[in-house]
Structure 1
Amino acid sequence: MQQFHPNQSKLFCNFWSYYDVSAFLQNLAKITMKRYIHQFAIFTLLLFQSCGLKTAKEVGLHFSTEKSKLPDTLNWKKIGFAKEIINQKELIVVISGGSNPIPLDKWDAFKPTFPYTKNIDRHLLFQKTAFYRSPNTEVNCKDADCIKQREYKNYTWVEMAKPVCVDYIGGKTDMLKPEKGHLVIKTIQKCQTVMFTDSIFQMTDNKGNYYVMHATETGEPSLDAVLPIGWTLKKVVLKEPLIISPFGGGNECFYNIVGDNLGQGYHQYIFADNVYPSNNMK
């Protein structure tokens, strides 16, 4: 069997988008020689790593940093721990919810299979949230029609967010586990508003862009993240609730979600420019 070099996998990205992954895996199951199975497994891993999200420039992303229009009524809910899985084939994030969500005591033992994988564990820091529309739903939807549910492994999940692109501060790094001195900026479509009512952990590039920490892996925010040169992180006591809603203007639902080397996540809530990508973001 031909040996595959990591760089070769990039040649298959366009082809793979049309290829039926399930058929590939069925064919793989028919191979009985362990050495060949090992080669295929390595090749498949390299393939998906190289065919990940493109940058904002590569996808031609360009949106207004104006706040988007919100529904007349928001249904605020409290939330603490996000149980999310990612469909790698459809590039969509779903969260436990709907008529039969997975119980918290079942989450650790829950093992999704391809094309699903668990998102990193995230303890949420905001106090309330209002999720008002799943991706790819009609803008003028009403009530239940705004929320798309699906079943997976006998539980129900709500379609929540769709990744658009990814960019890196401090150089390219692991998208889920950035190295010290690096940040990952994932632009997503998510029609959700969040509210902070007490104190926040505020990160800035000191060029006019501000971010608020919304989640940690451990449940305890840390100021010890190693940030790119010029970036700072501090705790800020709020004088009034901070409400963050999507950007893009009109009915768009864009968010920039930033990850640091400690697995902490941030929402961008102030932009230096009136469009994104920003000229200040380097």
Structure 2
Amino acid sequence: MRPVDPLTFAKPASAGGSARVSEAVARVIRARTGQNDGAAQRPRDPAPSRAAYRMNRLWLTPSFRFAMRKLAPLAAFMAVVGFWAADEGNRQVIIEQYDVMKAELHNRPEFMVKMMAIDGASSDLSIDIREVAPVDFPISSFDLDLNEMLEQIEGLDAVASVGLRVRAGGILQVDVTERVPSVVWRGPQGLELLDGEGHRVSALVSRLDRPDLPLVAGEGADRHVAQALGLLKAAEPLMDRLRGIVRVGERRWDLVLDNDQIIMLPEINPFAALAQVIALDQAQDLLARDVRAVDMRNPDRHTLRISDVARDEFRRLQGL
């Protein structure tokens, strides 16, 4: 038996009200069965709207997706944080919390320095180092300004080089290379100790405090200590009689012996001139005679200056 269409089954009973009732029943049946009138029964257009199409195309752009997924949330977060931090009270709370956390970290036991150890320095220099770089122990290693301490210690005359480090056990280690005095310089400021390069080591109260070091005198002698030491080494055969070496006119040297004898060396090649004087002394006892000065300044004309007594005796002998 063929199924009966409910839309065609309902037939009007009369030409009047029955037709309207049948039409209303048909509309109800269509609504329940998912059907609609003729205008609504047209197929729906599957194409998206213009706005949806543009949004889909924009979403396919990698930069747009990155901005929406990464930058947009970050910007929103920063905006919220900026709005919150705009209040001065909130900022003060952050600063106080940061200071508390920083102080707690810096004052932890493993970061505390408890003492200073100095190696390579004499007792006097160690005292000077502790005076120029005073530290109140215990102190956090974060509060130590090692660069400033390094500059202060390097400023000491007796310090050639220095190294600073904080080693295990909370010890501030100071490794010092001390300048070694080589000569005593009698300069404008009095007696001073100089190392082999002419750097000042310290002041000296009395020459008797360092009789083991040779005496260097004269203006500018501190800038030529290396040459002076070389001449003193070359004059080793005369060392028992040598009293010092003097810089003259900031150009040349005089060797001063006992009995007020002087060996006047030239500005150019003083080592050769000194070797000639030593050879004459060893051959003819030149310096054992009544000679006041041996003038070697002129390489073509060497001159001996004798004492007044020797000169008078020489003239007396010439008159005989």
TM-score, scaled to structure 1:
0.23
Structure 1 or 2: more helix by fraction:
2
More strand by share: 1
TM-score normalised to structure 2 length: 0.21
Highest RCO, 1 vs 2 (Cα 8 Å, sep ≥ 6): 1
Greater Rg by CA: 2
